[in-house]
Amino acid sequence: MERGNYEGVLFNTRNVVTNHLIEFILINNKVQRVMRNTLKEELTQKAPLQAVGVYEEVIKQMEKGLLADSQIILNFVHEDSDTLKMAPLRSNVKYAYFTVAFITRYIAYQLHY
């Protein structure tokens, strides 16, 4: 991002989201994006027993954030290629990048500490 390669940052952020954090499932004959079930299950298993409900709510909110972030990214880049639909503003790239970075850091911390 320091070098002004905002398109590259956006493509990489999209790849992190689509390849590692969300999956596509069929709901009511419609393909939907959801946070990976394996991540949700692992995060729930790591939660203290008395706080599982709280952690499930946190996971739901994180999922909403990831899906919203994914939609923001897809406003600017094509889902299946490294081509732009339109040039993003620096603030849009930063928002998408830092949101995904924060969620990824949270997941890594919860699963490994």
Range of the domain at 66: 6-112
State the pLDDT at residue 62. Answer: 95
Q: What pLDDT digit, counting tens, does each position of 51-102 carry?
A: 999 999 999 999 999 999 999 999 999 988 999 999 999 999 999 999 999 9
Over residues 37-48, the mean pLDDT reads 94
User: Collapsing DSSP states into helix, strand and coil, what is residue 77?
Assistant: strand
In a domain, 10, yes or no: yes
State the pLDDT at residue 73. Answer: 95
In a domain, 27, yes or no: yes
In a domain, 29, yes or no: yes
How far CA 8 is from CA of 57, 63, 74, 90, in Å, comes to 33, 24, 14, 12
Q: What pLDDT digit, counting tens, does each position of 8-42 carry?
A: 999 999 999 999 999 999 989 999 999 999 999 99
In a domain, 107, yes or no: yes
Domain count, the chain: 1
State the pLDDT at residue 106. Answer: 94
| Angle (CA) 31 81 69, round 5° | 55
What is the DSSP track for 10-50? HHHHHHHIIIIIEEEEEETTEEEEEE-HHHHHHHHHHS-GG
Structure pTM? 0.87
In a domain, 1, yes or no: no
